[in-house]
């Protein structure tokens, strides 16, 4: 017994050293992680021909450029592996340029809002330093600050008036929609609080563009459909609490 009690201080010290050596990177049930980072959106775009006042303009189309923005992510671990994540960001500004018969024409720009909610499954256990994941969810997409370039408005006016005038004013609207999101990525935990994460997501997304041109003889409506299908990458720094 004397030997047993004399060994207790050594045993306690060894236990403390062992606990200190255990990974402090746990991501477990009840944890919350806030991530701040950078979204890069790369549309895999295509479009239908522009229809002006019921008349199809052959070989006319539009392309959408890439965009970048600051993003915020909040994740809650319901279990050690299952996570609910909410993603949002400062609305990125997309530029639309003409293609085909509209080649060389800057059509305009719009800001896209697309907050998303995803359910993710993290592989590994709660003490794993590197944790890949897969996820799926849904996003609601709408647009604001839609602006049409003056040059495009003049070109559209010429199509409507058969080249007789370029003075008509045109406004635009882009349809909102609900779209699925699929995602894959990984997080790397530096310590008990800080981590870095990277993910790639795909959103099958379409929108309809409605253009309204005001003329002395009444409004003329033009339409086209855009397929965006963006691939979205997100690099972030996370803090767990």
- What CATH number is attached to the domain comprising 144? 2.40.160.20
CA gap 43, 95 in Å, rounded? 11
How many other CB atoms are found less than 10 A from the CB of residue 215? 16
pLDDT value, residue 165: 65
- Does residue 22 lie within any of the structural domains? no
Give the mean model confidence (pLDDT) for residues 82-110. Answer: 95
Phi and psi at 78, nearest 5°, equal -75, -35
In a domain, 63, yes or no: yes
* Cα–Cα distance list, 138 to 64, 176, 235 (Å): 22, 14, 20
Is 209 contained in some domain?
Answer: yes
pLDDT in tens, 55-75: 999 999 899 999 999 999 999
Question: How many independent structural domains does the chain possess?
Answer: 1
Domain assignment present for residue 167? The answer is yes
- Give me the domain span that covers residue 171: 29-240
Residue 7, pLDDT score: 46
Instruction: Sort strands 106-113 and 116-122 into parallel, antiparallel or unpaired.
Output: unpaired
| d(C-alpha 91, C-alpha 137), whole Å | 19
- For residue 9, being part of any structural domain is answered with no
Task: Evaluate whether residue 175 is within a structural domain.
Answer: yes
**Element (DSSP H or E) covering residue 124:** none
Per-residue model confidence as pLDDT tens digits over 134-174: 999 999 999 999 999 999 999 898 888 876 766 789 999 99
Residue 167 CB coordination number (10 Å): 11
In a domain, 195, yes or no: yes
Q: pTM of the predicted model, to two decimals?
A: 0.85
The answer as to whether 48 is a domain residue is yes
């Amino acid at each position: 017994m004397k030997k047993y009690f004399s060994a207790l201080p050594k045993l306690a010290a060894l236990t403390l050293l062992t606990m200190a050596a255990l990974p402090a990177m746990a991501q477990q049930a009840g944890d919350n992680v806030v991530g701040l980072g950078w979204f890069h959106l790369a549309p895999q775009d295509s479009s239908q021909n522009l229809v002006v006042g019921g008349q199809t303009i052959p070989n006319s189309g539009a392309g959408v450029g890439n965009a970048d923005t600051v993003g915020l992510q909040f994740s809650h671990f319901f279990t050690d592996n299952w996570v609910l994540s909410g993603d949002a960001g400062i609305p990125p500004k997309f530029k639309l340029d003409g293609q085909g018969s509209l080649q060389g024409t800057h059509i305009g720009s719009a800001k896209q809002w697309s907050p998303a909610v995803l359910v993710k499954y993290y592989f590994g256990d709660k003490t794993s330093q590197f944790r890949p994941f897969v996820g799926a969810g849904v996003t609601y997409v709408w647009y604001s600050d839609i602006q049409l370039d003056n040059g495009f408005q003049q070109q559209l006016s010429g199509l409507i008036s058969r080249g007789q005038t370029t003075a008509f004013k045109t406004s635009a609207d882009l349809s909102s929609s609900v779209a699925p999101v699929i995602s894959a990525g990984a997080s790397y935990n530096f310590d008990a609080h800080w981590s870095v994460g990277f993910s790639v997501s795909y959103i099958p997304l379409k929108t309809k563009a409605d253009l309204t041109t005001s003329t002395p003889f009444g409004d003329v409506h033009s339409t086209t459909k855009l397929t965006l299908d963006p691939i979205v990458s997100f690099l972030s720094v996370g803090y767990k609490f």
